[in-house]
Structure 1
Amino acid sequence: MPPVDRSQPPMPLGHSISDIVLIVDDIPENLSLLHDALDEAGHTVLVATNGESALQRARQSLPDVILLDALMPGMDGFEVARRLKADFATQHIPIVFMTGLTETEHVVAAFAAGGADYVTKPIRPPEVLARIAAHMQNARQMKQARSALDAFGQATVAVRAADGKLVWQTPLARKLLKAYFANPEEVAPEELLQWIAGA
């Protein structure tokens, strides 16, 4: 039996070394507070201070969860979320909105834009940690499901019957669609729709 390395503390149950959190906020104090709390909890923390850099960071690093400020100058959090959810590369990432606005219309806007959850300001790090842990667990299970389907050669897509929109796909399915159809990002190719209709 190999010797046990006791130089590093054991990882908490359910925690993966690859857990990456992207924090998007234009207020340095909020970034600092969240960065320290998440870093101390063992997460890899990335930071963006505006909408454009948030989109770029999300596409490059594919974080496990995004903490997104709702109201920022320039592109607000609602628009950032809509763009992330419209992109196949980032649409699976859970978004937790951070907002000082608790009026129903803002909460509804957060969910309509693709948010999975929200926390209110002033930020309470223990609450944020608990919420992102739950969303990371769900995201991890979805990722495992996609990987399992692909591992058994089951390239899988979900197509909305009303308009042919591709609403979900495994990585292998996406690769095959690009290789055989060079299709637009969001709509199933006509040949696939005909095959589905005849199946």
Structure 2
Amino acid sequence: MNAPTTIDRTAGDLVLIVDDVPDNLAVLHDALDESGYTVLVATHGEAALQRCAQALPDIVLLDAVMPGMDGFEVARRLKAAPETAHIPIVFMTGLTETEHVVRAFEAGGVDYVTKPIRAAEVLARMAVHMRQARQGAQARNALDAFGHAAFTLRLADARLLWQTPLARKLLHSYLGADHEHQLPPTVADWARAQAAARRAGQAPQQHAMAHGPRRLQFTLHEDTGDDEWLVVMRETSDAATVQGIAATFRLTLREAEVLYWVVKGKTNRDIAEILGMSPRTVNKHLEHVFEKLGVETRTAAAGLAMGRVRQLGGG
């Protein structure tokens, strides 16, 4: 995606009109301009995608039938990209058959108007959808402002429909670039199981992902409709707990990390994967831990350290 173009939005909300017929563009452009909107135009699908990526309009008025890439494909691509997925799309079409209306909504449209276009109707529908989009943006920004990361997940294909900036940063850190737009199967399966539990009236369970001393906790928050769910994430760190264990038992930080995960019930193989070392190295660290604690078994070491971990807030 290209970086958003800097546009002065104080002059009015930004609208992108996509239509391959110049007369349609002219009529809508004049009506929107007179109503105080800032207007961009595109005459084909590729140009529409480029302008959306550059300018991030507040709403898109999209012709359904165009040569080359049609409006349905443009909508699908906009909704597939986290940067543009939040933008409401109103289809403009002369096709009122049920099949085409269904295609418009399946592609991600929030509404449609029929041709010939009536400017007053378009303006009224735009106002409703832009107000709803602003409320959604305010909610996402509020989550970020309070240190929460959130995204909307479509359960059917584990697709991320939108995500706050903090959520994007955390997902990239824990999952890598391959999962910026789609959750891995383990997290997706958890989300589907929790959604089923919520519908059955059961209490949902969190999902946690470890990365060294840090953990990313996922909570299925609420159903936003159409099999889409809001997921809130929170990152916690075990670093302070590990440092406390090291100070209490006079261990190195690496030994303290190993002991911490022993207390958490992890096997040597689990610990090796979490800390990025071989199981043999984990075993060597454990031998040093046993010697310093004056114990001979994992169970004894865990029992001795468990109370201190709880005092430090790590268990």
Q: Which amino acid aligns with 1:105?
A: E
Whole-angstrom distance in 2 between the partners of 1:31 and 1:45 = 10
1:45 alignment partner in structure 2: 39
- Report the AA paired with residue 40 of structure 1: E
**Partners of 1:146 and 1:171 within 8 A in 2:** no
Radius of gyration: which is bigger? 2
Choose from 47, 57, 60 the match for 2:54: 60
1:91 alignment partner in structure 2: 85
Q: Aligned AA for 2:181? A: E
Unaligned runs of 5+ in 1: 1-14
C-alpha spacing 1:120/1:103, structure 2 compared with 1 (3 Å): same
More helix by share: 2
Q: How does 1:98-113 map to 2 (within 5 A)?
A: 98-113=92-107
What are the Cα deviations for residues 170-199 of structure 1, in whole angstroms up to 9, with x where unaligned?
Answer: 221112222343232322257866895467
Partner of 2:141: 147
What TM-score results when the alignment is normalised by the length of structure 2?
0.54
- Structure number with the bigger relative contact order (C-alpha 8 A, sep ≥ 6) is 1
Q: Deviations over 1:105-143 (max 9, x none)?
A: 111111111110000000100000000010100000000
SS at match of 2:121: helix
TM-score w.r.t. the length of structure 1 is: 0.84
Alignment of 1:64-75 (within 5 A): 64-75=58-69
Return the alpha-carbon distance in structure 2 between the equivalents of residues 163 and 31 of structure 1: 36
For 1:140 and 1:43, the matched residues in 2 are separated by: 16
Instruction: Letter of the 1:153 partner, please give it.
Output: G
- Are the structure 2 counterparts of residues 109 and 21 from structure 1 closer, same or farther at C-alpha, using a change threshold of 3 Å? same
- Compute the displacement of 1:160 (Å): 5.0
**Aligned counterpart in structure 2 of residue 187 of structure 1, from 160, 182, 193:** 182
The structure with more strand, counted as a fraction of residues: 2
- How far the C-alpha of 1:81 sits from its partner, in A, is 0.6
Equivalence map 1:152-191=2 (5 Å): 152-159=146-153, 164-183=158-177, 184-189=179-184
Unaligned runs of 5+ in 2: 1-8, 191-204, 209-216, 218-315
How many residues end up aligned between the 2 structures? 185
Corresponding residue to 1:124 among 118, 123, 138: 118
> CA 1:162–1:134 in 2, change beyond 3 Å: closer, same or farther?
closer
Secondary structure of the structure 2 residue equivalent to 1:37: helix
Q: Give per-residue Cα distances to partners, 1:51-109, cap 9 Å, x unaligned.
A: 00000001111111000000001100011111111111111110000001111111111
Q: Distance in 1 between matches of 2:59 and 2:154?
A: 26
Tell me the distance in 1 between the aligned counterparts of 2:127 and 2:107.
Answer: 21
